[in-house]
Amino acid sequence: MGNHIKEFYNHGEKGISRAVAECIESGYRPLSMPEIINIKIDSSVQDKNWSHGCDSISLRIRGNGKTSNVSHKGGTELVFISHDYLPSQCDIVDRLKEYGLGKYGYGNILPEDFQRLLRLEDGKMNFVMAREDMWPNDIYGIDTPTKKHMQEFGGKIDGVDMIAINHPEIRAFLTPEKIEAYLKKHKTVRLLGNDIGIVDYDDRSVMPACRLLKVGGYFSGGSLGFTGSESLENPSRIRRFIGIRE
């Protein structure tokens, strides 16, 4: 890594907050998911960023809410993804678990706060999607649908090929051009190949459920690509953030 980029790791139960605080206090800015993916695009496939997963400060919240965007189908269960909501927060875990942690480690926020966040939607750094529009958590083909998706769905959802670049959630990370560049490089990594995992936790909570997003590496799940992060309180898991000095 260059001198302007540095890694920060968790330490114990306050690991995520401590890692982010250390990053900020050292004069670095913790990176969002799109920024991490851009670094991977520009890195050699032998680089550590391809072999090891990396946590981001990008946020995913699932809950019931209302939006005026008519492109969201019926129903009120929505997914909010933001890449700029928490970039300077040292107490990131405390904020996400202020109203308690769910069974599998997700944080909770108040419904009125979720509704407020939905109004930040701009299609650039903040995205809102209907939960019913989301595709299954699974391994996706990069060039063609997987055998499993051909057997179960005929290779299409709503007439769209079930390949990674068409996945609704992946489009909240990068432009189609950047996604194409990332997937092209992904195929050249020996232990990854022509498939990529796009998974998220199916959190179900009375209150909106929050997680940080991460980008996987081949040491953290084989073909794992993009995922909702693991428990906000799991000191046994190594959490790795990347900071950039600007």
Q: For the chain, what is the mean pLDDT? A: 79
Average confidence (pLDDT) over 207-231: 64
Residue 56 predicted with pLDDT over 50: yes
Average confidence (pLDDT) over 192-204: 77
pLDDT number for residue 236? 56
pLDDT number for residue 206? 75
**Secondary structure E strands in 65-113:** 77-82, 107-108
pLDDT number for residue 93? 60
Choose between 208 and 205: higher pLDDT: 208
Where are the chain's structural domains? Answer: 5-244
Highest-scoring range by mean pLDDT, 65-69, 98-102, 132-136? 132-136
Average confidence (pLDDT) over 190-213: 77
Choose between 85 and 39: higher pLDDT: 39
Choose between 149 and 187: higher pLDDT: 149
pLDDT digits (tens, 9 = 90+) for 141-173: 999 999 999 999 999 999 999 998 998 888 777
Choose between 72 and 237: higher pLDDT: 237
By mean pLDDT, which of 32-36, 39-43, 50-54 is the weakest? 50-54
Average confidence (pLDDT) over 7-21: 74
pLDDT number for residue 43? 86
**Secondary structure E strands in the chain:** 5-9, 29-30, 54-64, 77-82, 107-108, 126-130, 138-141, 156-157, 160-161, 195-199, 209-215, 224-228, 240-244
User: Model pTM?
Assistant: 0.84
By mean pLDDT, which of 105-109, 162-166, 233-237 is the weakest? 233-237
Phi and psi torsions of 8, nearest 5° = -135, 135
Phi and psi torsions of 188, nearest 5° = -85, -10
Residue 120 predicted with pLDDT over 80: yes
Residue 92 predicted with pLDDT over 80: no
pLDDT number for residue 87? 47
pLDDT number for residue 160? 95
Q: Which of 111, 94, 67 is nearest to 205 (CA)?
A: 111
75 C-beta neighbours (distance < 10 Å), count? 11
User: Under 8 Å CB-to-CB from 49, ≥6 apart: which residues?
Assistant: 36, 39, 40, 43, 217, 242
pLDDT number for residue 91? 57
- φ/ψ bin of 92: left (φ > 0), alpha (ψ from -120 to 50), beta (otherwise): alpha
pLDDT number for residue 227? 58
pLDDT number for residue 95? 64
Q: What is the pLDDT confidence band of residue 234, given thresholds at 50, 70 and 90? A: low
Q: Which of 187, 192, 181, 196 is nearest to 149 (CA)?
A: 196
